[in-house]
Amino acid sequence: MTTGERKREFQIALIPGDGIGPEVVEATIPILEKVVRKVGHSITWREFPWGCDYFLATGRMMPEDGLERLRPLDAILLGAIGSPGVPDYISVGGLILPIRRGFDQYVNLRPMRTLPGVESPLVRRTGSDLDLICVRENSEGEYVGKGGRHEIGSAEEWAEQTAVFTRRGIARIVRFAFELASRRPRRLLASATKSNALQYSMVLWDEVVEEVASRYPHVEWRPYHVDALAARMVSHPDTLDLIVASNLFGDILTDLGAALTGSLGLAPGANLNPDGQYPSMFEPIHGSAPDIAGTGTANPIGTLWAGALMLDHLGLREAHDQLLGAIGRVLAAGTIRTPDLGGSARTSELATAITAEL
């Protein structure tokens, strides 16, 4: 905390959720509290027991006034959502998507970086060789939920799923991406498209990207068909830096990116309302992993990194850097790793080691 800066108590909503969500959140809370104290501030948590158990008890993933309860808080930390007993379209569609849309969290930010000492399973690179970030459109596109099923149960049954792209929606996510690219050392941007096959939505996407790009002559950019871009992420990741993509394309590319960095358990995500009108939400991109829930072996780093993104968003860059530094030193030592990274450590052991590094 700098001289003259007032100590602040941040009010954070906590939604542990399902499966391994409560386990990784439990490991994350004391570490975030410690690093925030180190920079002279504090966190107060407001926990909400929403998720699939709440759905099975009430018929809803969160109460009708859920958004109103979250609205006055500074940010939201989410563990994981999903359960074998609840269809994904209900769990995600009943909690995550309403929060993203209701709070206009139109930026989904997902870093994809190989952390110290972690080897990528495909390109066999370590350290900073793989350092990408995806700016994913988070409010429209392929996930707007428009469409339906028809003639259900008959031999002629058919379904339609309609994507909706607006000039406004594309322009604001692309502007955010170019602004971020202009602050990164390489000033390099790739736009994921598929305008050779999607002659309406992706043609509009390409047109808007080109219009916005004309205002950023200092940023080098080019469009890639999304399939070619996926291949390039595997074969030549060093030619990429920042990727801007639609809702669906960004979702797929970032799961690929997480695999390339060594484990889905390492990957964080931020759902941002850049204007600060509403709280933003931070979460690991892994799911609830019911196969390992309750074993105490889940990797907490994705949640910790998501927490670090939250701290950065709240203006605590120093705390963000300290936390990522501690994570990096523990991983570089190579002695304490959870099973997804080839080790045998428990969630609590990895968290304890990271706490000690702080």
Q: What backbone phi and psi angles, to 5 degrees, belong to 189?
A: -135, 135
Give the contacts of 71 (CB within 8 A, at least 6 positions apart).
Answer: 103, 278, 279
Task: Name residue 261's amino acid.
Answer: T
- Counts for the chain of helices (H) and strands (E), in that order: 12, 12
Q: Is 251 a catalytic residue?
A: yes
Q: Which residue among the candidates 74, 251, 312, 340 is catalytic per the annotation? A: 251
Q: Which residue among the candidates 53, 104, 206, 255 is catalytic per the annotation? A: 255
**How far, CA to CA in Å, does 9 sit from each of 33, 267, 304?**
11, 27, 19
Give CA angle at 128 (135, 319), nearest 5°: 70
Q: Is 340 a catalytic residue?
A: no
Q: Is 88 a catalytic residue?
A: no
DSSP string of 281-319? EEEESS---TTTTTSS----HHHHHHHHHHHHHTT-HHH
Burial class (CB in 10 A: 0-12, 13-18, 19+), 88: exposed
Q: Which residue among the candidates 131, 194, 216, 224 is catalytic per the annotation? A: 194
Q: And the tokens for 263?
A: 């484990």
Q: Which residue among the candidates 54, 106, 143, 278 is catalytic per the annotation? A: 143
Q: Is 128 helix (H, G, I), strand (E, B) or coil?
A: helix
Q: Is 194 a catalytic residue?
A: yes
Q: Is 34 a catalytic residue?
A: no
Give the contacts of 6 (CB within 8 A, at least 6 positions apart).
Answer: none
Q: What backbone phi and psi angles, to 5 degrees, belong to 317?
A: -60, -35
The strand ranges marked E within the chain are 9-17, 42-47, 75-80, 107-113, 131-137, 141-150, 158-164, 188-193, 220-225, 242-245, 268-272, 280-284
Q: Which residue among the candidates 88, 129, 227, 238 is catalytic per the annotation? A: 227
219-242 burial, b for 16+ CB within 10 Å, e for fewer?
A: bebebbebeebbebbeeebeebbb
Q: And the tokens for 46?
A: 């407001």
The residues carrying an active-site annotation are 143, 194, 227, 251, 255
